[in-house]
Amino acid sequence: MQVTDLEIEGLKLIVPQRFEDERGFFSETYSEKALKEAGLTDTFVQDNFSLSTRRGTIRGLHFQRAPHAQVKLVRVNRGRILDVAVDLRRSSPTYGKHVAVELSRENWGQLYLPVGFAHGFCTLEADTEVVYKTSSPYAPEAEGGILWSDPSLAIAWPVNPQDVTVSDKDTRLPSFANMAMAF
Ligand X SMILES: Cc1cn([C@H]2C[C@H](O)[C@@H](COP(=O)(O)OP(=O)(O)O[C@H]3O[C@H](C)C(=O)[C@H](O)[C@H]3O)O2)c(=O)[nH]c1=O
Catalytic residue among 62, 98, 112, 119: 62
Residue nearest to ligand X (CB): 138
Task: Give the nearer residue to ligand X in terms of CB position, either 59 or 75.
Answer: 59
Residues forming contacts to ligand X in the complex (CB under 6 A) are 48, 50, 59-60, 62, 119-121, 138, 167, 169
Q: What is the dihedral of CA 13, 159, 145, 71, to 10 degrees?
A: -10
Q: Which CB atom, from 12 or from 119, has the smaller least distance to ligand X?
A: 119
> 119-148 burial, b for 16+ CB within 10 Å, e for fewer?
bbbbbbbeebbbbbbbbbeeeeebebbbbb
CB of 138 to ligand X, least distance (A): 3
CB of 55 to ligand X, least distance (A): 16
CB of 78 to ligand X, least distance (A): 16
- Our CB check for ligand X shows the closer of 62 and 98 to be 62
Check if 132 is active-site. yes
Question: Does 98 participate in catalysis according to the annotation?
Answer: no
* 25, 51, 71, 142, 144 from 117: Cα distances, Å: 32, 22, 9, 14, 11
Closest to 110 measured CA to CA, from 13, 19, 36? 13
Beta bridge partners of 11: none
The residues that are catalytic are 62, 132
